[in-house]
């Protein structure tokens, strides 16, 4: 009991701010401007672009332009203060319209009173990596595949020819041991500007080397090729971008995370892996994180984010705040069990941890989360015991996170065991890479929806322990058709016209061989391209009215006698 108490105190201290002031008395602040991108309008405009690459370019360029215009006066003011020697290290952001800097504490009130400023807060460093210490283990025999990969059937996906090729995953973490034998050939080519395959956002230099081990272990679960004896990577054909946001004492601060997200989006990452988080952040930090996750989704980029490891600390970190932020942000696709209390969407697929018997890990944080405490969002209200104010169900899925074998940062050919939702998260990121290697145009909403729908259910409904269940990479990849939707939907149901202005007609494609009955009372739901529920429809003689929708791409969910089908429609 004494050991447990000491461990809890240590974890609590690791979450507390440990370094707010610099030696010269200046503090790091983040200034969030009132003018923020309308992410709904931005996403709607981005829907018009036919490819994910074009969508990303449009969103990035739009956010940059909007931030440049909105920040002009503030940056002029800060530059003048810098010339006077009271401000330094001015860093504008565009993924969220904000500016961070080091400033004399006496300036906070003056900056906060500016008409263009919504909030100013002090950026406090803290420690958030509370996973167990790594346990070194022997190398495999060259044929060994790590148990977590076998559990999710990753090896069977490789047999189909999908290994994550042409997919780039940003590992936002403690850095990566770039010399490890099992990562050779798996590192992002950053060219002459980023010669070391990434960037260090703590020190602001080109050396993202790992001084703690957490990020190397995570990277190994995504792409480790097994050169030293054990195959640890779910997607060994993918590439990773090493983005370091901790110093080697595990100190970090959330604006560094947002800078790393911005870098990853701008430099072509398909997936973000964020095995990190902050429990119970204040409203300003939550706002910053969700805005970043909203705009990342608008750019067409998905993030696998850990739920957290404080399940056993609910007396001090209670529900609905037991999930780390940004894991508490909403997913790209809203599960039907969430629709009783629907809200906005973001890029986050939140990941919990199970053991190899599919039992919930003792440490895996428990949902729901809520956003009713952030006035700019005020969604996902929560009231204990309510059947409607259920909060935001967290996590979305789970994966093995106990005794996970992956790469040891301190040995260029070594392996070690670690526990944590941090270890489960890269298993999900790797699985999404396998899915994208089959269809690179899958949207974040489709990736999330397919992952959840094909997961091994561990409860009757999506819940706050397991989410929709433990992922199965093989089932998820097999569920992808040429258009990213369940394959037999194309064979059994057709819709026309598509694009359409007012009405869509649903017909059975081969009624004599594949009889599909769609009852008049069938529940037909519509979601936008970002997975947000936009309404239900009742059919009349197989016709569905869509004239009230805004122009764009939607996903139609159709319940029939043969099951549930999904079809893309275009409203013009």
Helix (H) or strand (E) holding 242: strand 239-244
Do the Cβ atoms of 279 and 366 come closer than 8 Å? no
Domain 128-478 classified CATH 3.40.50.2000?
no
Distance from C-alpha of 304 to C-alpha of 428, rounded to nearest angstrom: 7
pLDDT-based confidence at residue 506 (cuts at 50, 70, 90): confident
Helix (H) or strand (E) holding 553: strand 552-560
At residue 511, what are phi and psi to the nearest 5 degrees? -65, -30
CATH class of 487-571: mainly beta
Give per-residue pLDDT as tens, 49-70: 999 999 999 999 999 999 999 9
pLDDT-based confidence at residue 504 (cuts at 50, 70, 90): confident
Q: Give Cα 142 distance to the centre of its chain.
A: 33
Domains 128-478 and 487-571 alike in fold: no
Single pTM value for the model: 0.86
Give per-residue pLDDT as tens, 249-261: 999 999 999 999 9
Mean pLDDT, rounded, of the chain:
89
Distance from C-alpha of 425 to C-alpha of 419, rounded to nearest angstrom: 11
Nearest residue to 427 via CA among 228, 240, 219: 219
Do the Cβ atoms of 293 and 324 come closer than 8 Å? no
At residue 68, what are phi and psi to the nearest 5 degrees? -60, -45
Distance from C-alpha of 503 to C-alpha of 156, rounded to nearest angstrom: 42
Burial class (CB in 10 A: 0-12, 13-18, 19+), 436: buried
Distance from C-alpha of 411 to C-alpha of 281, rounded to nearest angstrom: 35
Distance set, CA 348 to CA 21, 374, 387, 393 (Å): 32, 18, 24, 12
Nearest residue to 464 via CA among 389, 369, 349, 531: 369
Helix (H) or strand (E) holding 231: strand 230-231
Domain ranges across the chain? 17-124, 128-478, 487-571
pLDDT at 7 over 90: no
Arithmetic mean of pLDDT, 122-143? 85
């Amino acid at each position: 009991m004494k050991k447990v108490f000491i461990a809890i105190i240590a974890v609590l201290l690791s979450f507390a701010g440990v370094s707010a002031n610099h030696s010269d008395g200046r503090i790091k602040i983040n200034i969030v401007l009132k003018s923020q991108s309308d992410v709904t309008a931005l996403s709607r405009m981005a829907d018009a672009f036919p490819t994910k690459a074009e969508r990303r370019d449009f969103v990035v360029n739009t956010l940059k332009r909007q931030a440049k215009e909105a920040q002009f006066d503030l940056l002029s003011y800060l530059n003048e203060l810098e010339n006077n020697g009271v401000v330094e290290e001015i860093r504008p952001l565009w993924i969220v319209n904000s500016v961070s800097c080091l400033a004399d504490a006496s300036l906070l009130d003056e900056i906060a009173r500016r008409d263009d400023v919504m909030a100013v807060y002090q950026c406090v460093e803290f420690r958030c990596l509370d996973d167990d210490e790594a346990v070194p283990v022997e190398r495999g025999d060259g044929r060994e595949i790590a148990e977590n990969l076998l559990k999710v059937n990753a090896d069977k996906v490789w047999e189909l020819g999908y290994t994550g090729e042409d997919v780039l995953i940003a590992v936002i973490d403690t850095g990566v041991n770039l010399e490890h034998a099992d990562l050779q050939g798996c590192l992002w080519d950053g060219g002459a500007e980023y010669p070391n395959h990434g960037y260090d956002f703590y020190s602001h230099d080109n050396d993202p080397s790992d001084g703690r081990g957490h990020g190397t272990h995570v990277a190994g679960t995504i792409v480790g090729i097994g050169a030293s004896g054990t195959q640890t990577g779910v997607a060994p054909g993918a590439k990773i971008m090493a983005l370091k946001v901790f110093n080697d004492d595990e100190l970090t601060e959330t604006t560094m995370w947002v800078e790393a997200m911005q870098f990853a989006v701008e430099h072509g990452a398909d997936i973000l892996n964020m095995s990190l988080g902050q429990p119970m952040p204040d409203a300003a930090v939550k706002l910053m994180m969700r805005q970043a996750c909203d705009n990342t989704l608008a750019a067409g980029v998905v993030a696998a984010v850990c739920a957290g490891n404080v399940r056993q600390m609910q007396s001090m970190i209670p529900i609905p705040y037991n999930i780390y932020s940004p894991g508490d942000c909403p997913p790209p696709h809203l599960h039907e069990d969430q629709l009783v209390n629907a809200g906005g969407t973001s890029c986050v697929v939140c990941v919990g941890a199970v053991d190899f018997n599919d039992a919930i890990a003792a440490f895996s944080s428990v949902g729901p989360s809520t956003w009713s405490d952030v006035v700019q969002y005020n969604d996902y209200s929560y009231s204990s015991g309510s059947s409607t104010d259920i909060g935001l169900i967290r996590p979305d899925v789970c994966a093995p996170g106990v005794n996970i074998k992956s790469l040891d940062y301190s040995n260029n050919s070594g392996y070690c065991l670690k526990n944590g939702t941090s270890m489960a998260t890269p298993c999900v990121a790797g699985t999404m890479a396998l899915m994208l290697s089959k269809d690179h145009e899958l949207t974040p909403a489709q990736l999330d929806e397919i992952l959840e729908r094909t997961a091994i259910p561990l409860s009757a409904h999506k819940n706050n322990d397991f989410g929709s269940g433990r992922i199965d990479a093989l089932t998820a990849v097999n569920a992808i058709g040429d258009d990213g939707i369940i394959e037999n939907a194309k064979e059994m149901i057709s819709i026309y016209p598509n694009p359409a202005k007012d009405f869509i007609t649903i017909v059975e494609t081969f009624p004599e061989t594949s009889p599909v009955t769609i009852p008049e009372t069938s529940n037909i739901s519509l979601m936008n391209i970002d997975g947000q529920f936009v309404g239900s429809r009742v059919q009349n003689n197989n016709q569905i009215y869509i004239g009230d929708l805004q122009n764009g791409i939607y996903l139609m969910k159709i319940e029939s006698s043969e099951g549930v089908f999904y079809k893309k429609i275009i409203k013009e």
